[in-house]
Chain A
């Protein structure tokens, strides 16, 4: 007990976060179906979107549609990662185990930090599988190892940011059912973007929304870093012209808002 009292708050906070992370990953281990679903999504989307849409959509300036599509699919699977945190946190809300955590001498912020860390591990695995599928179907990263790693690093940063959004939304939801209803709302966010089609063919209002959609900036950033086709030329909206900077900015903004909000909710929960 004395050791507990004297250990630095940061160290105990970190070890608490790691404990919660292993709890969430262990849970996944016992649900093979969940693992298959998590990792099948990339495979199915590459085949579905790559070949179904790819057969009909011409790329500006030519190029392979699957080369155009892959960065967008990376972003899409990353953004859908919001559902992981949302579902788990909402489900935990209704469980007695959260009461036990709150009555223990652990850092209350360990639950959101552990959850987002577990999400990051799962997302990394998912990106590896997706990249392997992409390579199999003709996608390549052309700008060397540094830019490629930067691209995946950016995707993981985006994943971390949307995870915190998920944690916050999950902490608002009373149960799993409410959380499941939020799921379909993510679809339009990924569709009104440059993931599947160039935005310049869209009606003006929709194009403005799509251009300022963080999803578009992230997609454009990945295209830039991986050297894939579809980079806009000429007079385009600022986030599309400076996609890497814009994506980092969006992530910082999301984290700055939702990390403190989520931690606050976990500190005061039930009081």
Chain B
């Protein structure tokens, strides 16, 4: 059960799980190295939550096997549970208890003993800045506070692996940043974090490695930079005078991926061109346009969205996009 950086701490081989008509996992393979944040990126229904539930011993796979910290999630579920923490998009707390009571009960259930459980609850509340709300009922907490309490509930006994299932979905940017800081802090102390998210941005900010999953299996993996290089981004340029559009188009074609013509929206005087994400910096673009004699009123590098990741990786839009378009 080594905790040396680089050792695989979560391993999945050919996981399959079916719920009625839905094939939630369809041959998922995954190797998560110790000591880093590993991002599972995918749209709703891709199988992110199901895989976390399998790793956390909440769901049994139909086929395939998985180990966490060297223990089989089915045959050695008890040993796995001693090594993991779980926090999710649905805060797993007792609404009708105070924050402090929640932590104390969880501490007792982690077998700290009543006294140590009390101390640990106070320590965590203090350290994660929830002491002011410790004696209020959780049902009076804001979304961000709940999520934070949920997260620290999974830290009562420092876990070897922490599973975070969409920890920031639905949170405001400030609460999201707080969660991110906590996650970075934990990894700094040696915890391995498996994080699921729908946000490329979040995976980019936090994860050392990312696996993109769709329809229950991994369709691409790598570091954020590797993935972004595959996916690329776009440069959007708005010119002040429609007459400058052809010049701007020529300038952008130089910057763009080989052989790509810029999309032109003449009414809005907007030009847009796909580029390799890290190949360009804003000053380069401005200089290029300047040399072509173009007076740009707005220039932006647009990072790829999750939809674009999917479009690139699978050749089809994500299911969420289709649903939204149909609405």
In the complex, A137 Cα to B126 Cα: how many Å? Answer: 53
Contacts of A16 in B (CB 8 A): 108-109, 111
The verdict on B145 contacting chain A, using a C-beta distance below 8 Å, is no
The verdict on A55 contacting chain B, using a C-beta distance below 8 Å, is no
Taking each of B86, B91, B94, which has the highest tally of chain A beta carbons within 10 Å of its own beta carbon? B94
* Given A4-B82, A5-B82, A30-B137; A99-B92 close (CB under 8 Å): yes
In the complex, A96 Cα to B109 Cα: how many Å? Answer: 16
Contacts of A7 in B (CB 8 A): 111
Contacts of A101 in B (CB 8 A): 109
A residues contacting the other copy or chain, number (CB 8 A): 32
Contact of B92 among A15, A100, A105, A271 (CB under 8 A): A100
* Given A15-B108, A15-B111; A96-B57 close (CB under 8 Å): no
In the complex, A102 Cα to B88 Cα: how many Å? Answer: 14
Main SS of the interface on chain B? loop
* Given A27-B97, A30-B97; A96-B91 close (CB under 8 Å): yes
Min CB gap A186→B, angstroms: 25
Whether the Cβ atoms of A22 and B96 lie closer than 8 Å is no
In the complex, A99 Cα to B93 Cα: how many Å? Answer: 10
In the complex, A119 Cα to B307 Cα: how many Å? Answer: 52
In the complex, A3 Cα to B60 Cα: how many Å? Answer: 28
Contact of B81 among A3, A22, A23, A104 (CB under 8 A): A104
Contacts of A110 in B (CB 8 A): 109
In the complex, A30 Cα to B60 Cα: how many Å? Answer: 36
Contact of B59 among A95, A100, A271 (CB under 8 A): A271
Contact of B86 among A31, A100, A270 (CB under 8 A): A100
The verdict on A26 contacting chain B, using a C-beta distance below 8 Å, is yes
CB under 8 Å from chain B, chain A span 75-114: 95-106, 110
Some 7 contacts from A to B, beta carbons below 8 A apart, are: A12-B111, A15-B111, A26-B101, A95-B94, A99-B92, A100-B92, A100-B106
A-side interface residues toward B, CB under 8 Å?
A: 1, 3-5, 7, 12, 15-16, 18-20, 22-23, 26-27, 30-31, 95-106, 110, 270-271
B-side interface residues toward A, CB under 8 Å?
A: 53, 56-60, 78, 81-82, 84, 86, 88, 90-98, 101, 105-106, 108-111, 137, 153-154, 157
- In the complex, besides A19-B108, A99-B92, A100-B154, 11 extra interface pairs with C-beta distance below 8 angstroms are A1-B157, A4-B82, A15-B111, A16-B108, A20-B109, A97-B94, A100-B93, A102-B58, A103-B86, A104-B109, A105-B81
